[in-house]
Amino acid sequence: MTTTTTARRALGTTGLQIAPLVFGGNVFGWTADEARSFELLDAFVDAGFNAIDTADVYSKWVPGHQGGESETIIGRWLQARPGKRQQVLIFTKVGGDLGEGRKGLSGRWIEQAVEESLRRLNTDVIDLYQSHWPDPDTPHDESLAAYQRLLKAGKVRAIGCSNFSAEQLATSLQTARAHGLPAYQTLQPEYNLYDRASFDGPLRDLVMLENIGVITYYSLASGFLSGKYRSEADLKQSARGRGVAKYLTPRGRRILDALDGVAGRLDAQPAEVALAWLMQREGVTAPIASATSVAQLRSFAKAASLVLGADDVRALDTASAPSGTT
């Protein structure tokens, strides 16, 4: 795969400069074995991208897995590719349920979990360490104080959160200011052309006001926005079909029609247009997308260079507007 140049953008106030798309590492050790994962990571970096997102809990959902499989593969790749660590940014997360009480955002668990992630990742620093889920049993100041210790020790470079509501994020920011603690600098929300309601509105307003970097997950709505799934028959041909069925609604079909129209005008694929919409969306720093083939990575590179015109954006915004909005 030929190296391209992808423009960097600041990830909020973290100081991290990332390419306009982040690789979703949930596939490593799950739908991509170690050899394929190495091939994908090589191609991703060769294309000019530089940020890889994973979590300690990936991929515990697979029968026989314990969690940590994705981090382990990334760490082995880094070990097998001397010099690559200086070319990439590693994002991982803590708080998901690993079983036997190994979950949440207590100070004790954060400081234990980071050591385990550092070991699996074969690195001495995590570029972005994120709270995977809100923890109602742990006060924000306890979690943020633990992150403060990790930042001072040089074990992480920046901190962020995932799946926080506007209220939860606002409360954490207030806590950080009140106690002189580091604040979350990034947010990882579920957001795409179909799933807009939870981010658009107060949460998006807050991150823009606070200059918080945003990296979106489920950026292609579990593959629905690729246009691969258009009927009940299509769903039966894929193991992911059950999770995509919820998108086969009149609104979902309107979104696909709009994607088809824009893709046709730009000689692109629907998935490329859907990712380009996110990349150009105010308030979004970069979408996360996963790939299991080098061909998909080529598509990512095209999405990063795609420029949507005002009419294209308007067509997509109108088709995807949640009920009751324009």
> Could you list the active site residues?
58
Dist CA 61 CA 64 (whole Å):
9
On whether the CB atoms of residues 225 and 258 are closer than 8 A, the answer is: no
Eight-state DSSP code of residue 133: S
Tell me, rounded to whole angstroms, the distance of Cα 3 from its chain centroid.
23
> Residue-wise over 193-232: b if at least 16 C-beta within 10 A, else e?
bbbbebbbeebbebbeebebbbbbbbbbbbbbbbbbbeee
Q: Which residues contact 15 (CB under 8 A, 6 or more apart)?
A: 157, 158
Phi then psi for residue 226, to 5 deg, are: -75, -15
Residue 238 is encoded by which pair of tokens? 């894929």
Omega before 59 within 30 of 0, i.e. cis: yes
Residue 231 is encoded by which pair of tokens? 């009927």
Dist CA 67 CA 54 (whole Å):
11
Nearest to 56 by CA among 134, 115, 141, 125: 115
Nearest to 26 by CA among 92, 88, 112: 92
Dist CA 146 CA 52 (whole Å):
23
Dist CA 128 CA 309 (whole Å):
33
Dist CA 187 CA 180 (whole Å):
20
